[in-house]
């Protein structure tokens, strides 16, 4: 019997951890009028695309992780080590790599004098892979309308409804497109990993990354 693929979520540490740096766009961030959209209904499934210059300030920059999260900009930032490993291990799912300019390191005199690291920004693919909301123990803040898009919904707001919580994440392995690090088209709020990608991150001890099996990835907005 063929073993079914396993999936994981990737969580990058940000405000609530004080060990690794996080980032903010530096100065006025420019965004296009477009972003990733559902190929069936045209609804936005992600934020607007960041346009140059790709300038950032690193907060809490005492230690720079291989993954760096932040509000705004692109999906997240990564170290050269991660990009090298990504290529060597033949992983897939990154849609675009951005050249990041670190304009400031923290706010203290000591950190401002610290040499800025070489880092890049990435956008992940919004895969046609779907999750199965009906098997995830989802509680809804507002239910989906009957005419929600069957590709990018339910969820996502508007006619798709708004999710309050879920007990686990169930990826539809029958329509998985084979990416290793990606967003599901109807669940863009969580970074998903193939078993291969999760193992690569663990084997190479990549930092500021928490990996959770999808069957254990419960969440509730009421617990924020």
Rounded CA gap, 139 and 163, in Å?
6
Backbone phi and psi for residue 192, each to the nearest 5 degrees, phi listed first: -110, 145
Check: CB of residue 22 under 8 Å from CB of residue 191.
no
Residue 203 placed within a domain: yes
Q: Provide the domain limits for residue 158.
A: 7-223
**pLDDT tens digits for 45-89?**
999 999 999 999 999 998 999 999 999 999 999 999 999 999 999
Largest separation between any pair of C-alpha atoms in the chain: 61
**pLDDT tens digits for 115-169?**
889 999 999 999 999 999 999 999 999 999 999 999 999 998 899 999 999 999 9
pLDDT over 90 for what percent of the chain? 86
pLDDT score of 111: 57
Helix (H) or strand (E) holding 79: none
Q: Any alpha helices (H) in the chain, and if so which ranges?
A: 80-88, 109-112, 195-203
pLDDT score of 44: 94
Count of CB atoms situated within 10 Å of the CB of 162:
15
Residue 2 placed within a domain: no
Between 21 and 3, the higher pLDDT residue: 21
Residue 1 placed within a domain: no
Backbone phi and psi for residue 195, each to the nearest 5 degrees, phi listed first: -60, -35
Residue 49 placed within a domain: yes
Q: Are strands 30-31 and 7-12 parallel, antiparallel or unpaired?
A: unpaired
How many domains does one find in the chain?
1
Residue 66 placed within a domain: yes
Residue 182 placed within a domain: yes
Is the predicted pLDDT of residue 180 greater than 70, yes or no? yes
Residue 156 placed within a domain: yes
Residue 134 placed within a domain: yes
pLDDT score of 17: 83
At residue 224 the predicted structure's pLDDT band, cuts being 50, 70 and 90, is: very low
**pLDDT tens digits for 200-214?**
999 999 999 999 999
pLDDT score of 110: 57
Q: Are strands 76-78 and 120-124 parallel, antiparallel or unpaired?
A: antiparallel
* pTM reported for the whole predicted model: 0.93
């Amino acid at each position: 019997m063929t073993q079914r693929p396993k999936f994981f979520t990737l969580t990058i540490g940000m405000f609530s951890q004080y060990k690794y740096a996080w980032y903010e766009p530096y100065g006025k961030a420019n965004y296009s009028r477009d972003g990733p959209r559902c190929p069936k209904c045209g609804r936005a499934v992600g934020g607007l695309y960041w346009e140059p210059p790709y300038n950032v300030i690193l907060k809490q920059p005492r230690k720079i992780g291989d993954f760096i999260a932040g509000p705004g900009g692109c999906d997240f930032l990564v170290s050269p080590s991660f990009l090298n490993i990504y290529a060597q291990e033949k992983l897939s799912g990154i849609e675009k790599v951005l050249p990041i300019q670190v304009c400031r390191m923290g706010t203290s005199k000591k950190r401002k004098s610290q040499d800025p690291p070489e880092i890049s920004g990435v956008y992940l693919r919004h895969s046609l892979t779907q999750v199965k909301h009906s098997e995830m123990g989802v509680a809804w803040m507002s239910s989906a309308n009957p005419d929600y898009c069957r590709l990018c919904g339910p969820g996502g707001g508007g006619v798709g409804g708004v999710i309050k919580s879920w007990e686990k994440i169930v990826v539809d392995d029958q329509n998985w497109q084979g990416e290793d690090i990606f967003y599901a088209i109807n669940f863009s709020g969580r970074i998903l990993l193939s078993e291969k990608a999760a193992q690569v991150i663990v084997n190479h001890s990549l930092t500021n990354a928490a990996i959770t099996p999808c069957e254990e990835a419960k969440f509730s907005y009421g617990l924020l």
